[in-house]
Structure 1
Amino acid sequence: MRLSLLSALCALAAALVGPALAGDAVPKDFVTTKGSRFELNGKPFWLPLLTTQEDVEITFKQMQDAGVKVLRTWGFNAITESELAGAKKSGLTYYQVWDSSEWKLNDGPQGLQRLDKVVETAGKYGIKVILSFTNNWVGYGGSELYINWIAGAGKTHDVFYTDKRIVASYQRYVKTIVNRYKNSSNIMAWELMNEARCLGDLPGSSQCAPGSGMLHTWYKEQSDFVRSLDPHHLITTGGEGHFYWPKNPVGFWYNGTFISDYNYNGQAGEDFDADLQLKNIDFGTYHSYPQYWYPQLDTPDRQNFTLKSWGLGWIKQHADAAKKANKPLVFEEFGVFGLGSSIAFFSEHN
């Protein structure tokens, strides 16, 4: 999904704080509201920005208390030059500023120094960090900033994987992040991209067709590149776990029409079985959002489709692939709605 795990953790932290209290006699350290903003002890309070070390400490302490061992978060956050003044005023964290056909690094106190604190504090609380280098989607300034600023308007999403200028720019940023933290044992793994696909918010092209191997080649080249910089940390794709099963077509009937299943027909660009076999991909990742992926099937009259049966199959298929590759597997993102806790639902059926 396009929402980050960090956002979810912030939501969890907010839930642990509890509802805001109204009235004048509010005890010390209780979160309150004033108009459209949150306050803590009379000062503005907005945890999702995590702009102070105190916020970071509180969040990690709550994660530690909840038994969290690994934090997966974005190792990127990019803005454009036109957004810079607003970012400085608001205190927003940003690591890259795009202007013309390249980006400038922000390694100052509002930039990578904040990520330094996150990595450092994670170790303090016994938590390992997985850092993702960029996003398939536009959220937080992902891969399409590279496309728009380097390749130009009108290009398809998949040029990110093939345009040599874009690859060089991506690798320049990857090298910056890896070299900064490659000696830190607080890092668990590097993640090449969150949810890489042939398409993003921009459409894909026919060049990234099922069986083209475009994304597989990119995974190989970039995992080899990261390994050349860092011989010790784990590397993974960050993918959703799409399969490519051309000899065993998967699909479903809907309104009298057979629909080829996007999770298995190669249109996404991934080939989970083959990608997991890559030498420098150390473990697999997969995601699960069945109600978003199959909205036409998640209805009371679809007797041959249930979230439970589909979810169990999805889990088993990835477990089988991981066993074949003899590599670990991380169920990295998941979500259901209208069924109570997603964690309880997936834990019950895992």
Structure 2
Amino acid sequence: MLRFLRAFLFPFLLIWWTAFSNAALGPRIPNGFVTTHGRNFVLDDEQFAFIGANSYWLPLLTANEDVEATFQEMENADVKVLRTWGFNAINGSELAGALKSGLTYYQVWNSSEWVLNDGPQGLQRLDNVINTAGKHGIKVILTFTNNWVGYGGCELYINWITGASQTHDVFYSDPRIIASYQRYVKVLVERYKDSPNIFAWELMNEARCLGDLPGGPNCVPTSGLISRWYKQQADFVRSLDPFHMITTGGEGQFNWSKPKYYWYNGSFLSDYNYNGEAGENFDLDLTFDNIDFGTYHMYPQSWYTELDTPGSNFTVKQWGHNWISQHSNAIRQVEKPLVLEEFGVTGIANKTNIYPAWVDLALKTGHSIMPWQWGQLDLIEGNRVIKYTDEILDGASPNDGYAIYKNQTELWDIFKSAAKVQNARSWIME
């Protein structure tokens, strides 16, 4: 009788346990999607540590052969993740010029409602980038908008919806702007949410209280405005996509109760990167459930131009060393992965002197690393002005002084060696 009961009840118990387990653990991450396990990224049950690349200009290319060649070279360099812009917006007055020059654009603003361009000069170019990335085993971080004016950032929303007299911070609080931003986010998420080629969604590039427009009184160290905006938008994206990771795209500024100070020109100044004036609160922002990993950027050479002078006791290398350590310490409090998502100095000598120390420390503290920015040679477009001062010159991708090209052998080898270290860290998770 007992044997009969066991045989009779076992299938029902198995069904109940499976249902209970699935409910407790949530839906299974689809194959090919990257997720997190503690401080590690995981891809199909293996740790996924990586060296990545930034290329905002890839979707701006007009020749598919150039997109293919760039990804092939990234694959050869063991790049595993590309970060690029999911935004390119123009004013209606720029449309004729964009059509003539071949400029990629996704939104056209003529009123308080933008018009989507999902055609061959629009989102179809982004489709091609994401699909080609997948062919080469590369995942894509897609950024929804820009804190800065470049390529139609958040201030287009401000100018067209609330008027140019407003301050930058209204982007994070005006319900009409938030609704318009979310309308565009929904377009991108629904277009790619089933794609394993997406590594993560990124809410904004370098959110700050101020941008090219000045900041206002609603975004100060005590207001928490950007932190609330991060949480609101991350929760919105999660409602659209249960599987892909979400991150802020922030520079990683702190809001310490006892911020750092430094001497300059006879004054003891509170440090913008630590006192909350930027608007971020790295420690708090990491705690939100739908922020899956931390990002931060690092440009001490341009952030502290007044200190980076001959005879100063300020050193770019040491400041960066401290910044890496501080973010590594912060991430331990929440046990999430961490990405040094942008960093750079100008000058080849500076790069070859400073980058090895930064990369070594980042690797030792469990980071993934994405230098700014990828440089590509031998583009068939040859010479072409894109927009602003961005241009393809003699077949080389745009160079803002930070680009890293293959023919810069000593510099290139720093990241090739780092990629070998990261590749060796892949193992099956238990």
Q: Same fold (TM over 0.5)?
A: yes
Amino acid at match of 2:316: L
Q: Equivalent residue for 1:6?
A: 55
Residue 333 (structure 2) pairs with residue 321 (structure 1): no
Q: Equivalent residue for 2:345?
A: 336
Q: Equivalent residue for 2:317?
A: 308
- Displacement of 1:52 in angstroms is 2.2
The equivalences for 1:115-264 within 5 A come to 115-246=126-257, 248-264=258-274
Amino acid at match of 1:296: E
1:278 to 275, 278, 288: 288
**Deviation >3 Å, runs of 4+:** 340-345
Amino acid at match of 1:319: S
Residue 358 (structure 2) pairs with residue 346 (structure 1): yes
Report sequence identity in percent: 68
Q: Deviations over 1:213-247 (max 9, x none)?
A: 0000000000000000000000000000000002x
Contact preservation (8 Å) 1:311, 1:349? no
Contact preservation (8 Å) 1:308, 1:349? no
Contact preservation (8 Å) 1:196, 1:239? yes
Q: Equivalent residue for 2:79?
A: 68
Residue 87 (structure 2) pairs with residue 79 (structure 1): no
Q: Equivalent residue for 1:102?
A: 113
Q: Deviations over 1:190-216 (max 9, x none)?
A: 000000000000000111011210000
- Displacement of 1:56 in angstroms is 0.9
Aligned residue for 1:231, secondary structure, equals: coil
Q: Which moved more, 1:275-284 or 1:334-343?
A: 334-343
Contact preservation (8 Å) 1:130, 1:190? yes
Return the alpha-carbon distance in structure 1 between the equivalents of residues 124 and 342 of structure 2.
27
Return the alpha-carbon distance in structure 1 between the equivalents of residues 60 and 193 of structure 2.
25
Choose 1 or 2 for highest CA Rg: 2
Q: Equivalent residue for 2:398?
A: none
Contact preservation (8 Å) 1:134, 1:192? yes
Backbone CA RMSD of aligned residues: 1.5
Amino acid at match of 1:87: A
Gaps of 5+ in 1: 11-47
Q: Deviations over 1:237-258 (max 9, x none)?
A: 0000000002x12110112211
Gaps of 5+ in 2: 1-52, 363-430
Contact preservation (8 Å) 2:321, 2:358? no
TM-score in terms of structure 1 length: 0.85
Aligned residue for 2:82, secondary structure, equals: strand
- Displacement of 1:345 in angstroms is 5.2
- Displacement of 1:349 in angstroms is 4.5
2:304 to 285, 290, 294: 294
